[in-house]
Amino acid sequence: MLKEVLDVPAVAKLAADPGSFRNYWRGGTVKVRQLDGRPIRLRPGTSDARVLRHTFQAGAHRAPVSDVSLIWDLGSNIGSTLADMAHRHPGAKIVGVEPDPANHALAVENTSPWSDRVTVLRAAAWTSDGTVSLARDAGREAGSRIAEDGEQVEAVSLNGLLERFGAPSYVKMDVEGAERALLRENTEWAASARSISVELHGSYTAGDCIADLRRLGFSRVWEAEEPWWPRARGRPTVEAVR
């Protein structure tokens, strides 16, 4: 109860009307103020509401450069970051990559207002094309991850994304532990990326990530400051610009 009381002012700033405020807590359509009232649908009993807060209250995963023409969103979840990017960068084309089937379907729905320039692939971002095993936990829908055992899903390489869609102005990488491999194996794609943010998981530290990004030729690399509001904090993130 105390947690919900503390969250009320923040949710009031997020929800554009009373119905959206109610739906934030119980699941349903939330019209988001920061999207000029466009809707994002949340599933009850999932991590969706936390993801929405992380995107719009904490400002997670926003590009460290202002002029972007092509964005790769690796690990799109329910599409809230895709929607935020599409709203903030009206001239940009955006490619989302999301392996979880239910998350992918919701990401497509939540980005429908921008379907003319937002493409959401149902796949896992990986070092090579093919298939990988996906592990999922109920209540942690934002944490679907590549694992040794699990459902087989399509995998797309970042070199393949480069060939198919072109050089990205910004790469958002939130891939639940696959970031170490993506920044160390088959990294030819990285020379074409102008900026990147990497959310860190597991034993892969900020120091490790900074060293890898410098090795890949990024000239300015730093660990991003955490949001001031503790309840909106996500995982440590490293950003870089060429």
Q: List the structure tokens of 151.
A: 């459902």
The mean pLDDT of 23-40, rounded to a whole number, is 97
**Residue 222: which residues within 8 A CB-CB, separation 6 or more?**
210, 238, 239, 240
Give me the DSSP letters along 93-108. EEEEEE--HHHHHHHH
- Integer Cα distance of 149 and 132 in angstroms: 9
Q: Strands of 220-223's sheet, edge to edge?
A: 118-122, 93-98, 70-74, 170-173, 195-199, 237-241, 220-223
Structure-derived torsion over alpha carbons of residues 80, 83, 88, 93, reported in degrees to the nearest 10:
130
> How confident is the model at residue 2, as a pLDDT?
39
Q: Quick one: which of 163, 201, 207 has its CA closest to 182?
A: 201
Domain ranges of the chain: 61-241
The structure's pTM equals 0.93
Answer whether 79's CB lies under 8 Å from 41's CB.
Answer: no
* Residue 177, helix vs strand vs coil: coil
> How confident is the model at residue 6, as a pLDDT?
53
> How confident is the model at residue 226, as a pLDDT?
66
**Beta strands of 92-236 (E only): which ranges?**
93-98, 118-122, 124-126, 130-135, 145-147, 151-157, 170-173, 195-199, 220-223
- Domain 61-241 in CATH 3.40.50.150? The answer is yes
> How confident is the model at residue 32, as a pLDDT?
98
Cα dihedral sign, 185-191-192-193: positive
Phi and psi torsions of 134, nearest 5°: -115, 125
Q: In degrees, to the nearest 5, what angle opens at C-alpha 114 toward C-alphas 110 and 118? A: 90
- Report the share of the chain in percent with pLDDT over 70: 94
Whether 224 shows a pLDDT value over 70: the answer reads yes
116-164 pLDDT per residue, tens: 999 999 999 999 999 999 988 877 777 788 888 888 999 999 999 999 9
> How confident is the model at residue 5, as a pLDDT?
45
Mean pLDDT of the chain: 92
154-209 pLDDT per residue, tens: 999 999 999 999 999 999 999 999 999 999 999 999 999 999 999 999 999 999 99
State the residue for tokens 């949001």: 227
